Homo-oligomer: A and B are copies of this chain.
Amino acid sequence: MKAKNNKFTETQQLISKFANALANPVRISILELLADRSCCYHGDLSAELPIANSTLSQHLKVLKDAGLIQGEINPPKTKYCINPENWGLARGLLTGFFDKKIYSYKCD
């Protein structure tokens, strides 16, 4: 079945959704800081990153909408962490995508 008829598979859409969340160096930094737990709070991240607070909130929203992180609001602070289930899903999908066999590497 052609992509033309079905548009795109669920997997293709998920891969592109996760890739989109990773498609910005600020967000890569955020994920690294959260992953190694050197930051947990918005304020911690803000101190490390070269962007305004409001911009940071936007990036956190993108990551949250993609499901890669979760936030726990305890005003006036918000604690963030990696969402382990979706992190694993993203890893599996991306790994699977890149591990596919590439036939006939060279244009010939």
Contact = CB atoms under 8 A, between A and B. Distances in A.
Nearest to A40: B107
A91 B98 contact: yes
A81 interface: yes
Contacts of A21: 19
Given A25-B16, A95-B95, A103-B36, A3 B81 contact: no
Interface in A2-46: 2-4, 7-8, 12-13, 15-16, 19-29, 31-32, 35-37, 40
A73 B15 CA distance: 30
Interface of A: 2-4, 7-8, 12-13, 15-16, 19-29, 31-32, 35-37, 40, 47-50, 70-72, 79-82, 84, 87, 90-91, 94-95, 97-107
B97 A84 contact: no
Contacts of A97: 22, 28, 31
B98 A90 contact: yes
A63 to B, nearest CB: 12
A103 B37 contact: yes
